[in-house]
Structure 1
Amino acid sequence: MPKEIPLQLDMLSGELVDNRSRQQKKKDKAQELPQQAEMFSQRELAQFGVRARPKLPLSPKTRLELAVEDVRTEEEKERDIRQQIQRDTYPMPWAAEELPDNPEAAA
């Protein structure tokens, strides 16, 4: 439902005129815009005595490493490499037959 704008009658022309100040118009326009709802209460946002970035209690001898583990078997790795090569290779127009997926089955 649109908000009614207070209009006044102009004595000379007889037309309705908006005589609000620039600041009043700006304030009314800002109130019509959608307001963002808060996701968290003010109490949850500001916790006094809590560190935002606590430090890990590490001794100087502790070494942190990022270990990358590949849990695939050797056959799965070879199959994935072969599929990637086939995707990246441009097909030859004169090659009528396709390469087998399993080289042991062709032999």
Structure 2
Amino acid sequence: MTKDINIFHQEKAEIFLEGLKATPYQQIDDTGARVNGVNYYTEILCNPDYTADFTVPNKNRENILDVLLCGKEKRTALSRAQRGWNIKALISEKSKKIKGIV
């Protein structure tokens, strides 16, 4: 119904962002939904000041991040331990290749 009407999507995004700022917490839940005969999920975010729902094809972390970031780029922050592990893993792989193990 509002698929190609940008003003509605813009208004929803503005309301959602203000709702996120309204309280230091958000409640989230999901329920199944059918879209053209295909199973989807409706993610519902709310606090005492607003409720917003988003219908997504999969129930996973990526979709929740997409909803919460409202179209902004996803970034990840690795701890020092994780960064060190990744570097050690890369060095180990390169060492194996140099030695002809892999």
Higher relative contact order (CA 8 A, sep 6+): 2
Q: Do they fold alike, i.e. is TM over 0.5?
A: no
Q: Which has the larger radius of gyration?
A: 1
TM (norm. structure 2) is: 0.27
More strand by share: 2
More helix by share: 2
TM (norm. structure 1) is: 0.26
